[in-house]
Amino acid sequence: MGPAGLGPEQHRQSDQKTTGYTDRLTGLGNRYRLGDKVRQLAADRASDPAPFTVGIVNLDGFKPINDLFGQAAGDEILCQVAHRLKACVPDGATVTRHDGDEFAIILPLVFERLGAERAGQLIKDVLSAPYDLGDRNVRLSASLGFAVYPFAGEDFEELMKSAETALYRSKRRGRGQITVYSREIAQEMKQATQLEQALRNAIINDTVDVHFQPIVRLRDNRIVGFEALARWIDPDLGFVSPAVFVPLAEERGFIDTLSETLLRKAAEATLAWPRDLFLSFNLSSVQLMDLRTSFNTLSILNSVGFDPRRLELEITETAVMSSADTARRIIKELKDAGIRISLDDFGTGQSSLGRLREFTFDKVKIDRAFVSAITTDRTSEHIIKAIVSMCEGLDLEVVAEGIETDAEAQKLRELGCGMGQGYYFGKPVDAAATLRYLAENHHDFALVDRASA
């Protein structure tokens, strides 16, 4: 007879079950162990349902570690994470590892949101310390989602779903965030999912539109180009701001489809414009991490018959730094094809001067935060003056965004700023209205000739 009175066959089955409950890499329990522990804890407290908390811990930016340093380095970090989690959780807590870089914890003595947030902050701090890989140190952050029993679910599956919802919200808010599930958060996530589905349908049905805002040469207010801007009016939701639906498309993984659809629409619309006007179009951070971006962009231009030399692609400093080496390669391929590259929202990043040195931009767009204060704030005026002077030395063109008054336009002219954009010169309008605007404002554009062409 084996231990605990088990026969040989029963003992073999017990060993197999124990192995099936353990993560081989870290020695922690796995999801099956977590499920058993949660169910047992819920059963123990069934008669007097005292709360307890379940949390999911997910490392931010772990995948590039494997890509850059190899799987052995990634495995070493996961083992260090497991060790740190076991060391920092309170007595009686359980730590398990699931797939990849995801861990879970059961906190039997954490009863409410504030306690979960305190525990999460400690875990986050412990996991943010450098990881020793021998010849190098690596830093990572962690996102956390918590669910409190029985308010967030009375069985294991429901409780874990709530914790995953909380984790997803943390991920949406950025790196190193902590979220404790609530009905309000669940409703927020539900609305985001509904918005995502509506946006996917709008892309399929081709109802996301492109509007165009003029960019002018400030010395004589002559139109030199237009920026393409996404606009979406949903039959049920009404107007949805691009500040809402563009980040959503990035998060849910279909920004490339949306962007390519809009670029095609914009390029087709510009075929009716005078050939001396350029089109400015925004690239997202996701596209600057995808090596297919340059090929896809050029394929669209070629199929439409749009000259790449008339296209300017706007990128932000944040987008460039998401994956600098990949971004540098994409930018080079685009520039080799004749496309010009603009650095958008200049002055709001943490190291814009460094980006100007590392990347070969053609143009800088001064953020509207400085432009809107140029007539009332001496500091903003001096910053713009310095940017303009620096760009002259670097042979970069300059566009000031968000110009809304004649006084702002005049001050920018005095400071030597070459181009401007904003409501003072024209609001974003659809393709048809843009043609009417050109008929009224462009020196050699005749709407009649264009319509009959």
Widest distance between CA atoms in the chain: 99
Please report the domains of the chain, with CATH numbers, ordered by start residue. 19-181 (3.30.70.270), 193-452 (3.20.20.450)
Q: What is the pLDDT of residue 452?
A: 40
Q: What is the pLDDT of residue 1?
A: 38
Nearest CA-CA partner of 301 in 290, 289, 313, 288: 313
Can you list the alpha helix ranges (DSSP code H) found in 212-336?
242-252, 255-270, 293-304, 317-322, 324-336
The answer for residues whose C-beta is within 8 angstroms of residue 99's C-beta and 6 or more apart is: none
Burial of 209 (0-12, 13-18, 19+ CB in 10 A): middle
- Per-residue pLDDT 10s for the chain (453 aa) are 333 343 433 333 333 344 588 999 999 999 999 999 999 998 888 777 789 999 999 998 787 777 778 889 899 999 999 999 999 998 899 999 988 899 999 999 999 999 999 999 999 999 999 998 887 888 889 999 999 999 888 889 999 999 999 998 898 777 889 999 998 888 888 888 899 999 999 999 999 999 999 999 999 999 999 999 999 999 999 999 999 999 889 878 899 999 999 999 999 999 999 999 999 999 988 898 888 999 999 999 999 999 999 999 999 877 776 667 788 899 999 999 999 999 987 766 544 566 666 678 899 999 888 898 888 888 889 989 999 999 998 899 999 999 999 999 999 999 999 999 999 999 999 999 999 999 988 766 654 444 444
In total, the chain counts a number of residues equal to 453
Q: What is the pLDDT of residue 357?
A: 66
Phi-psi category of residue 4: left, alpha or beta, with phi > 0 → left and psi -120 to 50 → alpha: left
Q: Could you tell me which residues are beta bridge partners of residue 141?
A: 60
Local structure of 91: helix, strand or coil: coil
Q: Could you say which DSSP state residue 220 is in?
A: T
Cα 305 from Cα 299, distance rounded (Å) = 10
Contact between residue 165 and residue 77 where contact means Cβ atoms under 8 Å apart:
no
One-letter amino acid of 390: M
Q: pTM value?
A: 0.70
Cα 372 from Cα 387, distance rounded (Å) = 16
Work out the angle at residue 209's Cα, subtended by the Cα atoms of residues 271 and 431, and round it to the nearest 5 degrees.
Answer: 35
Cα 277 from Cα 362, distance rounded (Å) = 16
Burial of 435 (0-12, 13-18, 19+ CB in 10 A): buried
Burial of 207 (0-12, 13-18, 19+ CB in 10 A): middle
One-letter amino acid of 196: E
Q: Could you tell me which residues are beta bridge partners of residue 96?
A: 29, 104
Local structure of 195: helix, strand or coil: helix
- CB half-sphere exposure, 77, CA atoms < 13 A: 31
Nearest CA-CA partner of 211 in 302, 105, 142, 282: 282
Query: What backbone torsions phi and psi does residue 232 show, to the nearest 5 degrees?
Result: -140, 120
Cα 430 from Cα 411, distance rounded (Å) = 30
